[in-house]
Structure 1
Amino acid sequence: MVKKNGNTIEAVSEGSLAYEAGVRPADELISINGHSIADEIDLLFYSNEQEFSMLLSRRGKLYERTINKVGGNYLGIELKPFKITTCRNRCTFCFVNQLPKGLRKTLYIKDEDYRMSFLYGSYITLTNLSDADKQRIVEQRLSPLYISVHSTNEEIRKKLLGSPKAGEILKEIQFLIKHKIKLHAQIVLCPGFNDGSDLEHTITDLRKFYPYLSSIAVVPVGLTAHGNKKMTPVTKEDALSAIATIEAFQKKFMKKYGEQIVYGADELYLKGEHPFPPLKDYGELHQKENGVGLVPEFLHRAERFKKLKRIPKTPISLFTGMSFYPYLKQFANKLNKKTGMDLRVFPVENLFFGTTVTVTGLLTGRDIMRTFMGQIRPEEVLFIPDVTLRDGQNMFLDDTTTDFIGEALDVKIKIIESSFEGLIKAIEELD
């Protein structure tokens, strides 16, 4: 029996190069041109040649296939997901530690995997990279990576991350920059820990790595009702102070580099009740998935929106978190007045995690259902932003499903992409 040191093939697309070569699901991909295959990154990297040889195993027997990309480039192999490397830190503000008990197991996974950072933009602290990990990052050019810095002060960072290795962040960044790996950094702002002068010090340290460290996001700490009571939430005054610091650095950086480099998360401006910068000031929106520039992008699109291709007759209900509600409501009113359509927007208060959590992505099915009980009409369609759903399923964080909500409220459900374009497309495709 052959020892399985490769990765199991989950699917092979019919008509692809691998399928035509006889490769099938459940086969074990051992190596490509002698390089062992541990995950999909290895597969992509080593199959990038015009011609290569694959060593595989099927039911304990080895076989070899040569792939020549003449006439086609689609290999067509999908590997089973790799096991995610988890975090060994004990961050004082860790969101996973703030989750209530009884949720599905996948929600309690603390991701600290550089592969997830490269593939999906997950943030890693760089505290558990082995020499082999670093060698692989450099060899395979796994760039950009997204890193959680929080503070470049060794003692403060150790305290925030609860790890004795956390103080080596500048050394780890220096290694990656030396090998031309691009980085995007985030600072989770924790009042009393890394705000004020420490925030200034951290931004000053990080800008020395520009341009390979391309962007810095300052994000207010997210605290739930189940979290660490020793950590205090970001207040309006904290937010305004951070914004003032960010704006001062932006002016310096723009003058010196032609880019602002450091950006405040949308939630900072919402908490501080401060006007958003224009969309052009966000550059390439490197950290949009981290909540940096999402609202300005929506406002920019809404302001320039001309007209719908189709005006639906079916009435629509849509919900959002408390922080974004005023902006979405304003656009809906404008759209209704202009087109005569019936689009209602509801703010959902987050009772599951606590009312201080105001973003849409952390709303639960129960809170959504509570909001619409007795409010929604049977003839309406309820739009559900996909950002509220997890694991590629029609399921919210509290395991409530979209089907259950549709049945409980007796309405039709439509899942929409969580963007301005996604909303417009969903409206135009209705009926």
Structure 2
Amino acid sequence: MNKPKHMVLGAYISYGTGHHPAAWRDARVAADGAQNIDRYVEFAQEAEKGLFDFIFLSDTPSVFRDDLNGYGSRVVVFEPLTLLSSLAMVTTNIGLVATASTTYKPPYDIAREFASLDLISKGRAAWNLVTSSKSDAAFNYGLEQHPEHAIRYQKAAEAFKVITGLWDSWDDDAFLRDKSSGIFFNKNGMHELKHEGEFFSVRGPLNISRPPQGYPIIVQAGSSEAGMDLAAKTAEVVFTAQTDMSLAQDFYSRLKNRLANVDRLNKDVLIMPGICPFTAKTESEAKEKFDQFQELIHPKFGLSMLSDLLGGIDLSGFSLNEPLPSLPESNGNTSRQKLIERFNKNGPLTLEQLYKKVIISRAHFNIIGSYKQVAEEMMSWFQSQACDGFNVMPPSMLGCLSDFVSGVIPELQKMGVYKNEYKKGTLRNKLGLKRPNSSYINV
């Protein structure tokens, strides 16, 4: 697969109020957005109006530690598969990406749930394969500690093998449903997986038919070396955090080069950095919007959120005027910790300066500018081998998403780097990704 003609765009709507951590305090934002289905319907339909390729839901099977002082809004959210199944009923074209952790969710459940979503949505499902960076998840599943980073990725590789094998449990034409003969399915079209591995023992078959897309599209969001290796072997779309174009180009090149030695159906992956755009008709208006959001960050929340992004490092004993201390290696989000440490390379920032710089976009690319300026910067990344598109993280919902749809999308279309209509068919068809054949097709 060659580089796409048009950039691919995702709408990151995970937290219901927006990506800026203090968005829920804005007078124009529904503070209960994370558990308000009517708001999510608005988000999904606005994103589809803007021809976004998919909506993206992150998830972690625990309460965010950065919210436990009472200042953050991410403590309660919908379960993503349940939410996307409902949004499938009020949308037609937009893809539906949900996160599920191979560390804490059994492969059989992941396979069944995403096959169900793919059938419900008529071929629009995608699975964001993660290993969970939040260590508190362990305590919700009877474990004394979060598994080590390397172990989590070994387990993820085996889980992927099991899950894709389960999606092949039934041939595409296995279900005859012939009323005259009384034969509902062709018994030769059913396959038991009989997997016995280091982490999992799964017989199968899956009790749902093969997904319309063969496999829901595989998305991967790890940027560590282990994450990149897993992405090269499994992913069709990669979501990554990159703070500037040069870092994005380096990541893009390194991941694309890894693909040369991997036997895979789609010979390329779509690489999509996150982008958090503060945008308006003019640059000054965009800066004013940004400053208003920054003023809403409570200092205690800013520090605790920075601690969480660093992998759970406790910073509570440090003054906001102190620089970032030397950090132990994280067993959580290792790639994010390294990105944050880079901010200090041009001179140490105080903890207050650092959290104000980092938490607004959680170490993703943050941009402030007019609609045209934002579109030009996105086009520059796209044309400079830094990305194949972006996962757009609106600072507030619904306002910033609507601003992007009405202001930035038309500019991208004028530049010829964004589509004017959806292609027909499944999400795979729309993204130009081949449909996998069953692993039993030549057996």
Q: TM-score range by the shorter chain?
A: 0.3 to 0.5
- With normalisation by structure 1, the TM-score equals 0.35
* Larger radius of gyration between Structure 1 and Structure 2: 1
Q: Specify which structure has the bigger relative contact order, considering alpha-carbon pairs within 8 angstroms and separated by 6 or more residues.
A: 2
Structure that is richer in strand per residue: 1
